[in-house]
Amino acid sequence: MQISLEKIEQLCERAGIGYSEAKEILEQVDGDLVEALIYLEEKGSPGPGRFSSWSRDISNQLRRFVAGLHRTRFRVKVKDNTLVELPATYGVLGAALFPKIAALGLIGMLFSEGSIEIQGGDGSEAAEDGCLDEDNLDKKGNSGLGSEQA
């Protein structure tokens, strides 16, 4: 039996399978597209419907992570002067897009005795100088790494 390319392409699009697999299945069901789809459904072939819930879960987790990252702020200080205060999202994107500039900035900050403070979305200071240690936190959750809170 001759299977048309149009039927093969329709099955490929609807089921998310390759051409050779689509052709084999259509040959088994005598070219009936509906029977081929039923066959794939019973077989449990991974198609778009099967991955949709997985991809939806991953995208929701990624969305929550990015929202939390955007609520988190980082502050670059040299001595007592704040040079930059931005959402952490911008810092991560900037470091990813311009890694050499970010590395030079970190080296310059270290030589000028600067610090990086990360403040969580709830307003509590999470870390300073890239370190977070439970021994360095007081009862309010403030970092005790040398900067006094006013």
State the DSSP H helix or E strand holding residue 81, giving kind and residue range, or none if neither.
Answer: strand 81-87
The mean predicted confidence, pLDDT, of the chain is: 76
Between 140 and 61, name the one with better pLDDT.
61
The pLDDT tens digits for 60-95 are: 888 888 888 888 888 888 888 888 888 888 888 888
Q: Which domains does the chain have, with CATH numbers?
A: 5-46 (1.10.8), 67-136 (no CATH)
Beta pairing class for 114-119 and 73-78: antiparallel
With H, G, I as helix, E, B as strand and everything else as coil, classify residue 18. Answer: coil
The pLDDT tens digits for 99-123 are: 999 899 888 888 888 888 888 866 5
pTM: predicted TM-score of the whole model, two decimal places = 0.40
